Structures are given as C-alpha cells and as structure tokens.
Structure 1
Amino acid sequence: MDALTDQTSLQQIARDKGAMPQPAPLAMPVAPLRAWRKQDQRPLAAPDRWRTPWFSRVITFGGMAAISGFGGYQMYKVVEAGGVTLLEWLFMILFVVNFSWIALAFTSGIVGMGNLLRHGITRKPVLPDRLTARTAVVMPIYNESPGRVFGTVQAIAEDVIKTGHAASFDFFFLSDTTDPDIWIAEERAFVALRERLSEIGIHYRHRQKNTARKAGNIADFVTTWGGNYAHMLVLDADSVMTGETIVALADAMEKDPDAGIIQTLPRLINRNTLIARLQQFAAGVYGPLCAAGLAVWSGRDGNYWGHNAIIRMEAFAGSAGLPDLRGRPPFGGHILSHDFVEAGLIRRRGYAVYMLPQLGGSYEESPPSLMDLAIRDRRWCQGNLQHSRVILSKGLHWATRQHLATGIMSYMSSPLWLIQLLVGLLLALQAAFIRPEYFTNQFTLFPAWPVFDAERAFNLFIFTMVILLAPKVFGWFVTLLNGPARRGSGGAIRLTISAVLEIILSGLLAPVMMLVQAGSVFSILSGRDTGWKTQRRDDGSIPLRSIIARHWRHTLLGVVAAIAAFSISPYIFAWMSPTIIGLWLAVPTSWASASASLGWGLRRLGLLLIPEETKPPELAERAHRLGLEFDALGLEDRKALDLVHGDDRFRELHQQIIQVPPPRVRGRIDTDRVIAEAKLTDAQSLDDARQWLSGRETVLVLHDRALIALLAALPESGSKAA
C-alpha cells in the first residue's frame, strides 16, 4: 500500500471535491487573422479610463526616429567621401537598422526613468475589503519536479489564505507531463497537498495528449471549466507570487471593466550560478526602468508575457482562440509564442492590456547557465519569428504590431549585427588590398579606410556606445537614488562596482549570444523545428565536455576572425578585438556561467546583489522549504506501472482523478491504444508490461480504465496461468 494513502480515505477526498470542479464550458472560437470588422469590437464600459499617452509616445518613437536619423546621417557622412559603393550602402543600411534598435531602448529608458523618479520602483499592494468575483490560479506544468511545483503552490495558497480572500480563489495544476513516473508523482503530491490545505480549492488535471503545448493546455481548461470563473491568473512552473499581489490583481480587474489582461513585472530570484546572478542583477537594476518605459508609452495597448498576469476569462475565451498557421513548422502549425498574439487579439476586441510594473510580490527564475539560456532562446526565437506570419493580421492595434516587431527584432538583431561585422570586414579587406598605404602607423579604433572619414567614424562609435549603455546608467542612477533598492544591492559602492562588472561580463557574453541567436535564426529559416524540451531549473553544473561540444565552433570562428583581421591590419584586429576576445573565451565563459561557486563567491563579496538576496522574501523561502518537504515524501520512489498495479487504494483514486475520455468516433482507430492493448493482452506478467510499453503507451494505458483493469489483472511475475 502506498504510504501517502495511509493517512485518510483518499477515495472520500476525491468523491467529496473531485480532482476538478464541475465542468462549465466556455465557447472559444478560433480568432480569424485575415478577417476583422470594426463592428466586432465591443463597446467600452468605462471610456474615461482610456487616455492615450501621446507625450510618452512622441518622446519614445519621435526620439528614436530623430536619433536614428542623426546616426544614419553621420554614417552617410563617414562613407560618402569618394562616393558610396554598394557595399557601403549595405553597411550603412545595416547600421541604421541596428542603431534604431538601441535608440528605441534609449528613448524608452528615458520615459521609464522619469516614471520611476516620480513614483518609485515598487509599491506595496493595497488590499480590498472584499472581492465579488472568483479567480482561477492556474499553473501549467510539463515534466517538472513535483515536489518543487507543489511546494511552491502550497506556499502561494497559504499566502492567499492569510489575506482573508481564500473563498475567491481556486488553484489548478494543468499537467501536460509526458513522463508517466512524474505524472503519477504529481498525483501523489496533489493528494498530499489536498490533505494539507482544506481552506482553499486545489485541483489537478492531466492531459493525455498535449495538443498545442502550453496554449492548448490553457485553452482546454478555459473551454471545459472556464465558465466557473471571472478571471484566470496564470503562473509558470517557476513563478512565485504573494497572496497580496494576487488579491490586488483580482481587485484591479474587478474595478476596471475594460481590462482584459493585467501584467506584473516578475523579478528574477533564487538562482546562484554566475549567469543567473548576472541576469538577476540586470533585471533588478535595469528591468524596472525598461518595464516602466514600456508600460508608460504602451498605456492600455500593452503586451502579455504568458505568466504572472491576470486575464478576464470572457475576454480570453471570446478573443484569443488561436488558429493554426498554414504550412509546417517552424513557421506553420501551432503558434508557439502565444502570449503576444493572445494580447493582440484581446486588445483588438476592445479590451485593455496593460502592465503594473511597480506592483511588487511577483517573481520567477532564470536559466542557470549559458547553454540553458540558449535552449530557451531557441524556442522563443522560433515563436517570435513565427510572429512575422501574424503581424499583418487585420484589426490589430499599431502598438500590438510594435510589440510583435520588437519580439522579432530581439532575435533578428543578432544575425544583422553579425552581417554588419562581416560587411565591415569586407570593406576593410577591400581597402587593404586596393590601397594598403591608407593604414597609417597612427593607432585608431577605426582604420583609415580610403572611403571612410576616420574622425567622424570614431565620434559615431562613441555616440553609439553612449546610446547603448545609457539605459544601464539610467537604471543604476534610479537604483542609487532609491534607498531600499540601493541598500538591497549592497550600498552605493558595491552597486556601482556590480554595474561595471555586469557591463564587462555582458560584453564577453554578447558575441557568443550573437552567434547562438544567429544560429537559431538560420536554423529556423532552414526549416528546423525546435520541439518542446523540459527546462532545467536547478543550479547543477554542466560537464566540461558538453560545454566544449557546444562552443568549440564559436572559439574556432574567433580564431579565424582574428587571423583574418590581423592579416588585413593590426588596427582592424584592434577594432574587432571585443568580439574576437568574447569568442576566444566562449568555452571558459560558458563554463563559468554555470558555476554556482563563482556566483556564491560574488555574493559573499556583496557583488551582483539584489534586494531579494539581502532580505529574501518570506514566501520564496517558505516555498523552498515546502518543496524539500514534498521531496522527502518520496513522491518519485515508485514507478507508475508498479504503483497503479500494486496499490488497490491508489489505483482507485487514480481512476477518479483521470478525466473521462470523449466517446470514440466510429471508424477512427487510435493505433497507439490498439498497440498498448495488444501488448497488455499478450503480457504474462507486470515484468512484460514494464519491458514492452513505451512511455507514451504507458501514459495512454494509465488514462484508460479498461486498460488499467488489464494491467491490474497481471501477476507481478511469471505467467497468467501461474
């Protein structure tokens, strides 16, 4: 008998509450991308709330245009001497595109700095006396550590209970897990959590087929149970959100009848590797500035990041049914980066989408190594490039198109930067072979190409660096002026040293990430699909052999680039040295990025500190402790087939938890089920079933009551006759 079923009658728990509430279906029609009529937009319920932030938009986009125009003009003056060749035109166009990208970050940062200086970095949530609507807090999970995610949700649910508003919330685990052993461990954790928390609704559902991935997981919940709730608050598997913040979001949604999505700014916490702490520091110091700028200029025409946000259920169901894109992946099929598109469709319908960046109590975690970051970026890259198929959809607000374009450019900037470097190298090569005497003995960052104005080029380089680094300086300045943030970052001196260190380390990582992202873009353009891999969420190190296998090409490219640059001129080598050095150090940098000891060492020195390390959030610490408690229960100490076969009580509970499948359509044969049934029928023992059933077939068997009966009838070993 399973130890977790000994304490109480688990069958009674399932009968009393059920793993899921009673179905309350909501229609979720597929939203057309190529057809839209203005009359399909809903009338505004509170028109007085809709104020367009024209001033901020003029500063952001007018300023970007002015700065980009100035930079483009200066580059033209650099190359115009002696006439502009085709190669120089290409170089100038690439420069303007890349320069406009950093100019937008600069002007948005100015808007964000003004907002933070006026209103502060964070504000404590104000709780209402009562809530009138019900909210589902949903956490989609996919092959995650059960102890970790169930411990986190227990901590969050307990925090909601403390607010006195528990009756307004139910929590849901929406599992798309494909590993049968992890799935059954999730069920055991669910049972344990139900026993611990009786004051608030805890529910669990596992899908046999994870159609359309996370977007399909959420859509399945909305269309089956969404009618029970007015709002849906979406968490990621690594999200942590305080009860006060959850209640404040629900209250904000109730008070704003036009709100469709309200997004928070999750702060990065809990990781200790070098690159994770680097990201945490950058997100803590520069993140609020960037988010505030985005929130101010986008206003009620904002964006959604897929988690740590609350959504009006009616708006989501009525607006955000995602179509499949024509063609095959990577550009066709299911929409991967669904969040941007869902936000755009909800805004198109007439609902507001906006961010509350200064609402605290919202957290998430970052990838623990450069390689993990690259894996996540590959998936995000494909999803964002897919938006090129969506950006021209009819009826989208121009701000939505801007959000989609920003997402596309966040990955296209890497290959564009790489191409610009290569074109610059070709220009230098051309100049060296045609007029080598133009490379004088006087050192300069830019070689005196025969068609370049070297002095103007140097001034433009300095101007570009100022525009590039200014948002980081703005973030440092705002943090320096904010007492709690400054003290939480180790004080003024350590904050300043950390900011400089972050710039240096980010500079070393930038060339590697440029090649990684450029490789992802070229891979996607060549038709390769990313698939769906489980994210690594711990601080464990990566074997050096794996790091070398991942980065040796980057190092080799750095060596080749160095030889090529030096053969042209030592001054070309000096100009390209930041990129070359970053590539030379790709392997040790990637190894160091995954090192928890280096991260802890900097933490002990008080560097790259964030306030959440100086004074850890009680909720995050509670979630960690509860995760360890769940792990201590031995959730994964028994295999799925063994537990369902050998424990009658758990098998009965399991059959009450799984959803009743839809009736089979005559003439439509599920070949996986036929094969699984044939294997179980032919099996003479549980040993046979263990050996013969694949992971996918095991999941199918454990979702089918008839096949579970066949499994349970098998002897442990030997033959049926025995």
Structure 2
Amino acid sequence: MALSLDTMSGPSSVNSASDFLPPESPLVMPTQNLRQKAERHGRPFWSLPTTPSWLWLRRLFVFGGSLLLTFYSVEKINRVFNSFGYSTLGILILFLFSILSFWICLSFISSLGGFVSLLKHGGLGLGIKREGPLPKLTKRTAILMPTYNEPPETVVTNLRAILKSLQETGQASSFDVFILSDTTNPDVWVQEERTFLSLRKQPYAQNRVFYRRRFKNTDRKAGNIGDWVQHFGGGYDHMLTLDADSVMDGALIVRLTAAMEAHPGIGLIQSLPTIVGGHTLFARMQQFAGRIYGPLIAHGVAWWHGSEGNYWGHNAIIRTKAFAEQAGLPHLPGRPPFGGHILSHDFIEAALMRRGGWAIHMVPGLAGSYEESPPSLTDIAIRDRRWCQGNLQHGRILFSKGLHWVSRSHMLVGMGAYVMSPLWLLFLLCGILISLQSHFYHPEYFSTERTLYPHWPHVDPIQARNVFIGTMFILLAPKLLALIATCFDSETISKVGGRFRLCISVLIETLIGGFIAPIAMLIQTSAILSILLGRDSGWKTQNRVDGRVSIKEVTHRYWIYTAFGVILSIAAWSVSTSLFLWMLPVLVGLVLAIPLVAFTASRVAGEKTRQAKFLLIPEETHPPEVLKLVDEESKPLLSNEAIEAFEAMHNDPELKEAHKRALPPPRKPGEPINIPLLTGMIKLQESPSLQAALDNLTTQEKAAVLACPDAMTYITEKPLS
C-alpha cells in the first residue's frame, strides 16, 4: 500500500462518532476575560439564595479572631527580640512571625467553627439528609472520569463499583459515564479500549458507559473536561467529576444530584473525599490524618465559606450550564511556569463561577466519597511540585475583576500553603543569626547619651519559652479538637480500636509528621526556587501503587537534606546549647531524612501498625458497601498484565475494528502534516515484521501510527515476528 499524504494529518482533538460515544450535543463555552466583570444574567452577587444566615458574623469571628490573636502573638515576640531597641534582624523576624502567626491563627480559629459544627452534626445544609429515602431524580447527569496513562484495570474497577452502587439506588438510568482519556502511552491507550469494550458488555454498563480519547492533549485535565463540555455538555444538566482513583457511593451521588436539582442557583457542590487504601506507613498516616483531622478542618471552612466555597478538582458535582457559561479558562500571557495554561484550574473555575453569580458549596457532613494517597513522601513531592506551580500562578489571577473576596482568599490560602515553607526557613535562619549576633557581638553598654542605665542586649528566655508554648498550642490545637470531637463519636471510636489506641495513633502521627515537616519544608522551598528560576513542572503520571524504594535511591534524593541538617546542627550547637535544644525537632528530622523517608515508604511498617491496631480508620476496619464492591471488582475484567498494542490489534479483530471506528477523519488538504505519523508509517511499511517495526518506532511514532486507519492493514498483515 502506498503512502497517502492525506493520512499524515495531525488528528483532531476528539474521536469522531463511533461505538465508543453517543451523538454529540454541543454547548458553547466561551473563554473568560479576566479584565472584565462577568455577565451574571440577572443573578445576584452578594447575597445568594443559598447563603446561610449570619454568615457575615461567622466570617467576622474567623478573621477578626485571627487578627486579634496575631496582634497578641506579635506583641509577645516583639518583647522577646526587640524589648531593648529595634535591630534589622529583629524587625525582619517580627515581619516573618506576623505572617506565619496569622497563618496558624486562621487555621486555629476556623477549626473552632469546625469543632462546633462537628458536635452539632452539621456540615450539610441545602436540605440534604444523611439518611432516609433517596430523592427522585428527574434530570440527566454525566459522570466524568479523566485518565492520563493510569492503569486501565484500576480505573475500570472503581467505575464498576460506582455503577453497581448506583444500580442499587434504583436511579442508575439518570447517569451516563464517560472515560475521558488523555493517555499518551500507545500500549495503555489500546488497553483502555480493550478494557472498555469488556466493561460495556456488563448489563449495568450497556449504553451508559462511553470512552473518548483526545489526540491532542491541549490544556491537560482542564482542557479534557472543557472539550467534553463543548461536544457533549448540552445533553446533561450536571457533571460529576472524578479522578482516576476516585470512588463515590451511589446514594451520595443521588443526594448531591437531588440538591442540585432543588437549588437551580448552585453551580457546584464539593464533597469531602476520605483517603483510603493506604498500605505504606506514609499512606496510612495520610489517611489517618485525613479521616480524623480532615472533617474538623472541612467543617470549619464550610462553616464560614457558605455559598463562596471552593473546588478541589474531583468528587464534586457541577451544573454544566454554569461551568460552560463561566469557567472557560484563558491562557496567561508569557511562558511557563507563570504563563500558559492554568495548572491549578479547579480553584479558578470555582472563583469564575462564583463571579458569575453561581453558588459554590461544600457539604462535608455526607460520607461516601473516597480517594487514595500517594504511597511515599517522594511521590507527594512530585505531585506537589505541579500544584506549587499552579498555585503560584494564581498570583496573576488574584486581582481579576469581579471576583468575590472569599474567592481571592482561597487563592491566597493556596499560595500560602507553599510560600509558608520558605518563610519558616527564613524565620529559623534569622533566629540563628540573632543568636550568633548576641554571641559574638561585643555591645556598648553605655551610649554616648548621658544616662545612668546601661543598654543590655538581651533575649528574654521566659518570654521566648512562653511564645514557643503558645505557638505550639495554636499549631496543634486543631488536632486536639479533632481528637476530642472523635472521642464523642462512639461509633467511630468502636471502629478505630478505642480511645486509648486513638490517642496513641494521634501521638504517632504527630511525632513522625513533626519529624517529616522540616523535610517537606525544604522540598517546597526548593520547588518555589525551581519555579522562580523558570522551570516548568511538566505533566507526569501520578504514582498510586506501593513500590519498594531502594536505600540507594532514597540516599541519592535526600542526602542534601541530611547535609543541611548537619550544618544547622553544628551552627546551633556552636552558638548555645539552648538554641540547639530549641531547634532539636527540626534538626532531628533533617539529619534522619534518609531513614525517615525509607521507613515511612515501607509497606511492612504500615502493615505492622495496622496489625497493632494503630492509625486505624473506620473505612479500614468496617468498609462501607461501595469499598467492598471495589474489593470484589478488583479481579480484573481481563489479564492485568501489560499488553503490547500491535500484538493486541493483530490478535483481537473486535478490538481492531472498534479502534478503527473511533479514529479521527483523514487529513484535509492544507492541514499540517503529522511528521511522527509520516516517519512511523515508513518504518512500519519497511519492517518485515511487527517486532522489527517496534524496534525502530519511537513512542510518539507508535501512537501516531495507531491513530491512522491505513496502519491497521499493515498491523494485521505483517507477521508478529
């Protein structure tokens, strides 16, 4: 077969109509102008119909209380360092402490609201009920599962559990499921198709599950969702967004959807995902912290966010009309890391919808929403690097016209989650410098002014101790409040091994987490420095599978943190024993970075704590029905072994024909020529066998060839080897 130039096109962004997709139902999604106020179409801006009463008073308590507590803390730290006159270092440390103190005070005051909400079994609103008969749905909702080079079996296992759980509600017919693939690995792509074809043969999935792969990964996940809205959004009133590791209970989905139907002014409702499925010590610590402390924090922010809530990118239901109308994201001027498409798009999408007069709510009081945690600090760091870049981009969006001040506060909090790390580091270094200055500087006790009283350079140790104790109390108070609230929940207590084991678990998590904190501080600080140097994070697949990490690899990654810890220890010890002891928690974490990271990434250590009944969560000891379904469905529909795409096409005629029908149309004259496809087709034609072709094809060429209908003939006719 001769090469045709018409086959060398760059494929369109989505599949053409095929067995994989329903008929298109387009919806216009205009790109938003951040320099102009949004068109709200008569919707109010300040007081929305679903805004809780007395919300302004709650916000006054949170921000007013935080400011008062910050002023008090700053006055105390001022007595420690500047009681006998101001110095440059003293003013700098006062400035840093002001920012850091407000950060932890805001968390503390917000947690007080969450504590009250938890004790009152709040966290709902909008007429949602935890129990009782499920409301009857009348509108259509799409469940969207974006995936990017994820193991297809894991994705489909979670979807099978969700579909079966929805089937049990009796209202499954109100939902369609879309697997939205941005996968670039050709073998994973073909395995996704193979797994999908097997899934849709199941009775509960027939005519209700669809698969779409984009051939151009424009704007990553945000672009994936946006493309779906523009091609299919017109057929659905709502869309439920998931991540590849998300699981949601069918009853929860129905209750959230019913709330959207009952309140046409709501644009988005965010659930509170519980982290489950952890096996390493690090993952089990993450899920324990999320399960015990997370509800208090989420109830707190929901308590004062009201109708100006936030969006976390998954496990949330969105009104499709509101999203299409207001959430079309522009590209920021300039190049990455600060320019280009918006990485942390979820915060911005929520802010833009709220700007357009749509309410954004969080309902942390409903159970049934789940996700997984990365298995190690290293995997968290890789994910955080991308989030850090995305959140710092928000600085360019912060002053966009028409945003609600609470939406701006979400962006500031997101930025602060990373900026606080270098500020803490500067604060520690300034403390050492002040101590060094007082140790080596020979003061002039009497000034040139006539006075009977000398100027004694002095850091008040009693005031310093009091400030330290007060700061640690405010920092740890949310954990203490969460522990108290959990102790009042007899059902949860019975599922986590009792109050004694719960208290020991909190102690274990706090101690190990405290030692890890300075390592995380340096990781985030290095990420910010990397971004300021202009380095883009790229788009990497998230590791969700436990894997052994060799000591050699950990040593290679973390020796620099140990070296920094040793240098800090020597500096602190050379100044004074008291300074060394004051910094000991930070120094221990850094010096022991290598064994700490290796130990917490261990599955054996995680299983030992589980067997000892520590760090338990209710979902682990008494799994809910939807998680039981995940376990039941964990037996894959097909072999879980990786498949080679050419071999699969050669041996499976059904897969090959379905794959061909889902490919984009041929190139039109004048369209760009696809160079990887051109070179890939030549290599495929000239190779005597598929194996010989595979030896010569790059990954990009292989993916391009698989997107060309003419290539299917070569793949079928050529021998495998």
Superposition TM-score tier, normalisation by shorter sequence: over 0.9
Alpha-carbon displacement from aligned partner over 1:585-607 (angstroms, at most 9, x marks no partner): 11111011111111111111111
Distance 1:138 1:552 in 2: 42
> Displacement, 1:539?
2.1
Distance 1:437 1:281 in 2: 55
> Displacement, 1:265?
0.2
| 1:690 equivalenced with 2:694 (yes/no) | yes
> Displacement, 1:54?
1.3
> Displacement, 1:677?
2.9
Distance 1:176 1:549 in 2: 32
Residue 268 (structure 1) aligned to one of 263, 275, 278:
275
Distance 1:621 1:58 in 2: 44
**CA gap 1:643/1:68 in 2 versus in 1, 3 angstroms:** same
Partner of 1:74: 76
Q: Which runs of 5+ in 1 are unaligned?
A: 1-13, 439-447, 718-722
**CA gap 1:564/1:27 in 2 versus in 1, 3 angstroms:** same
Distance 1:324 1:212 in 2: 9
> Displacement, 1:669?
2.5
Contact 1:210 1:216 in 2 (8 A): yes
Distance 2:215 2:720 in 1: 26
Residue 168 (structure 1) aligned to one of 144, 153, 174:
174
Distance 2:226 2:139 in 1: 21
Aligned length: 692
Partner of 1:54: 56
Aligned partner of residue 335 in structure 1, secondary structure: coil
Residue 334 (structure 2) aligned to one of 304, 327, 332:
327
Distance 1:375 1:437 in 2: 51
Partner of 1:519: 526
Distance 2:669 2:61 in 1: 59
Distance 2:598 2:376 in 1: 8
> Structure 1 or 2: larger helix share?
1
Alpha-carbon displacement from aligned partner over 1:176-216 (angstroms, at most 9, x marks no partner): 11111111111111111111134550111111221111111
Bigger Cα displacement from structure 2, 538-547 vs 74-83: 74-83
Contact 1:515 1:554 in 2 (8 A): yes
> Displacement, 1:627?
2.5
| 1:105 equivalenced with 2:107 (yes/no) | yes
Q: Which amino acid letter does the alignment assign opposite residue 680 of structure 2? A: A
Runs of 4+ in 1 over 4 A off after TM superposition: 14-17, 37-41, 43-47, 120-123, 435-438
**CA gap 1:713/1:353 in 2 versus in 1, 3 angstroms:** same
Contact 1:125 1:248 in 2 (8 A): no
> Displacement, 1:571?
1.6
| 1:19 equivalenced with 2:23 (yes/no) | no
> Displacement, 1:125?
4.8
Residue 514 (structure 2) aligned to one of 474, 493, 507:
507
**CA gap 1:643/1:449 in 2 versus in 1, 3 angstroms:** farther
Q: Which amino acid letter does the alignment assign opposite residue 153 of structure 2? A: G
Q: Which amino acid letter does the alignment assign opposite residue 400 of structure 1? A: S
Distance 2:710 2:133 in 1: 50
> Displacement, 1:665?
6.0
**CA gap 1:368/1:351 in 2 versus in 1, 3 angstroms:** same
Partner of 1:601: 608
Equivalence map 1:385-464=2 (5 Å): 385-435=392-442, 450-464=457-471
Query: Which TM-score applies when normalising by structure 1?
Result: 0.92
Distance 1:655 1:324 in 2: 34
Aligned partner of residue 49 in structure 1, secondary structure: coil
Partner of 2:713: 709
Partner of 1:679: 683
> Displacement, 1:516?
0.7
Alpha-carbon displacement from aligned partner over 1:320-371 (angstroms, at most 9, x marks no partner): 1111111111111111111000000111111010101011100111111111
Q: Which amino acid letter does the alignment assign opposite residue 95 of structure 1? A: F
**CA gap 1:637/1:302 in 2 versus in 1, 3 angstroms:** closer
Equivalence map 1:157-306=2 (5 Å): 157-198=163-204, 201-306=208-313
Alpha-carbon displacement from aligned partner over 1:130-167 (angstroms, at most 9, x marks no partner): 21110000110111111111011011101101101011
| 1:35 equivalenced with 2:36 (yes/no) | yes
Aligned partner of residue 587 in structure 1, secondary structure: helix
Q: Which amino acid letter does the alignment assign opposite residue 31 of structure 2? A: V
| 1:132 equivalenced with 2:134 (yes/no) | no
> Displacement, 1:219?
0.9
Aligned partner of residue 628 in structure 1, secondary structure: coil
Partner of 2:646: 641
Contact 2:145 2:243 in 1 (8 A): yes
> Displacement, 1:563?
0.8
**CA gap 1:462/1:595 in 2 versus in 1, 3 angstroms:** same
Contact 1:185 1:636 in 2 (8 A): no
> Displacement, 1:43?
5.2
Bigger Cα displacement from structure 2, 343-352 vs 372-381: 372-381
Aligned partner of residue 29 in structure 1, secondary structure: coil
| 1:660 equivalenced with 2:660 (yes/no) | no
Partner of 1:4: none
**CA gap 1:689/1:646 in 2 versus in 1, 3 angstroms:** farther
Alpha-carbon displacement from aligned partner over 1:535-561 (angstroms, at most 9, x marks no partner): 111222211111111110000111111
Residue 86 (structure 1) aligned to one of 88, 93, 98:
88
**CA gap 1:155/1:183 in 2 versus in 1, 3 angstroms:** same
**CA gap 1:57/1:129 in 2 versus in 1, 3 angstroms:** closer
Distance 2:719 2:291 in 1: 58
Contact 1:435 1:450 in 2 (8 A): no
> Displacement, 1:437?
13
Distance 1:82 1:65 in 2: 26
> Displacement, 1:505?
1.0
Distance 2:38 2:505 in 1: 52
Residue 366 (structure 1) aligned to one of 352, 373, 398:
373
Distance 2:396 2:16 in 1: 47
Distance 2:78 2:476 in 1: 23
| 1:569 equivalenced with 2:570 (yes/no) | no
Contact 1:126 1:248 in 2 (8 A): no
Q: Which amino acid letter does the alignment assign opposite residue 494 of structure 2? A: R
Aligned partner of residue 664 in structure 2, secondary structure: coil
Contact 1:655 1:705 in 2 (8 A): yes
Q: Which amino acid letter does the alignment assign opposite residue 614 of structure 2? A: L
**CA gap 1:67/1:129 in 2 versus in 1, 3 angstroms:** closer
Contact 1:38 1:395 in 2 (8 A): no
> Displacement, 1:121?
7.8
Aligned partner of residue 177 in structure 2, secondary structure: strand
Contact 1:208 1:699 in 2 (8 A): no
Contact 1:185 1:635 in 2 (8 A): no
> Displacement, 1:662?
7.8
**CA gap 1:126/1:525 in 2 versus in 1, 3 angstroms:** farther
Distance 2:548 2:188 in 1: 23
> Displacement, 1:124?
3.0
Let me know the Cα RMSD of the aligned residues: 2.3
Aligned partner of residue 155 in structure 1, secondary structure: helix
> Displacement, 1:227?
0.9
Residue 490 (structure 1) aligned to one of 459, 484, 497:
497
Distance 1:346 1:526 in 2: 33
**CA gap 1:125/1:150 in 2 versus in 1, 3 angstroms:** farther
> Displacement, 1:45?
14
Q: Which runs of 5+ in 2 are unaligned?
A: 1-14, 446-454
Partner of 2:486: 479
Contact 1:152 1:624 in 2 (8 A): no
